[in-house]
Amino acid sequence: MKVVVTGANGQLGQDVVKVLTEQKHVVIAADRSQLDITSKEAVYAFMEQVKPDAIIHCAAYTNVDKAEEDQEAAHLVNALGTKYLAQAANQVGSKMVYVSTDYVFNGEASVPYEVDHPTSPLGVYGETKLAGEEFLQEHLERFFIVRTAWVYGVYGNNFVKTMLRLGKERGEVGVVHDQVGSPTYTVDLARFLVELMESEKYGTYHASNEGVCSWYEFAVEIFKQARLDVKVNPLTTEQFPRPAARPKYSVLSKDRINKEGFTPLRNWQDALAVYLDEENF
């Protein structure tokens, strides 16, 4: 298949390009310099020229805290950018995969979020990503929405890299223990996105590595696997204030992945081990 990947230079996008290439798809890797998704004209012209079979939309405004003060930019990228891509996909007969987020939920649940659970974003980032979902559903029939959480990979900055850096520098870190979710390794997520794209089983999915932990437990496991002697102090969310509210419970139910017969993502501890090996840690 001929596949356009937006955000191709990002943390997830680079792994998606890699997986697509390994699986012999024709990849058009589009970063911001090649495709401005906030320009309707640019998106239409690009897709008319390329005429892809599928679009995997990884580009996003992901700075959760900055989005609170820069609402217009977040809306432009996450909502309108997705709308323009969906409209263009519809025009050229392409299917589309949109990477969304656990932030579309308020984090007040106590059991894993199902794909049809009512949405209720806490802040601008979640609101704009949800708006992207709604535009996709409005303008396209052949679409996949994939909500994920706690993403980390070799490319770009993430929690694992931050912990390793701070741990080595300080020997002691403080990490919140009252926010719970499932870490997601970009390689595993990329493989799922491509497997999904190759199917006709449209709709909404939740994808993260198996298992559940708090950020504190995640940090403890990172240092254990990296064989670093670092003291990890558990903090409450209130002790670590941020401009944007974080969902306290971000566990996503992967029932639909199993029901549709797709390959489940591996356990998060196993994925972390592979990541650290890839980072030569």
Q: How far apart are CA 140 and CA 91, in angstroms?
A: 9
Residue 220 within any structural domain of the chain: no
* The 26-30 sheet, strands edge to edge: 26-30, 2-6, 54-57, 95-101, 143-148, 203-206
Residues near 88 by Cβ (< 8 Å), separated by ≥ 6?
Answer: 43, 44, 46, 47, 48, 94
Q: How far apart are CA 91 and CA 162, in angstroms?
A: 42
Please report the sign of the dihedral spanned by the C-alpha atoms of residue 223, residue 243, residue 73, residue 55.
positive
Residue 47 within any structural domain of the chain: yes
Domain of residue 109, CATH code: 3.40.50.720
Residue 19 within any structural domain of the chain: yes
Q: How far apart are CA 158 and CA 116, in angstroms?
A: 28
Residue 277 within any structural domain of the chain: no
**Residue 101 is part of which domain span?**
2-157+183-210+251-266
Give alpha helix (H) positions in the chain.
11-22, 40-50, 64-69, 71-74, 81-92, 124-139, 159-170, 186-197, 215-225, 255-259, 268-278
Residue 6 within any structural domain of the chain: yes
- The residue-averaged pLDDT of 112-121 equals 97
- The residue-averaged pLDDT of 14-41 equals 97
Residue 77 within any structural domain of the chain: yes
Residue 101 within any structural domain of the chain: yes
Q: How far apart are CA 56 and CA 93, in angstroms?
A: 14
For residue 69 the two structure tokens come to: 């003060």
Write out pLDDT tens, residues 175-194: 999 999 999 999 999 999 99
For residue 281 the two structure tokens come to: 């840690």
Residue 242 within any structural domain of the chain: no
pLDDT of residue 142: 98
Q: How far apart are CA 2 and CA 27, in angstroms?
A: 6
Active-site residues, by number, are 125
pLDDT band at 83 (very low <50, low <70, confident <90, very high): very high
pLDDT of residue 31: 93
Q: How far apart are CA 241 and CA 243, in angstroms?
A: 7
For residue 98 the two structure tokens come to: 């949109």
For the chain, what is the domain count?
1
pTM: 0.97
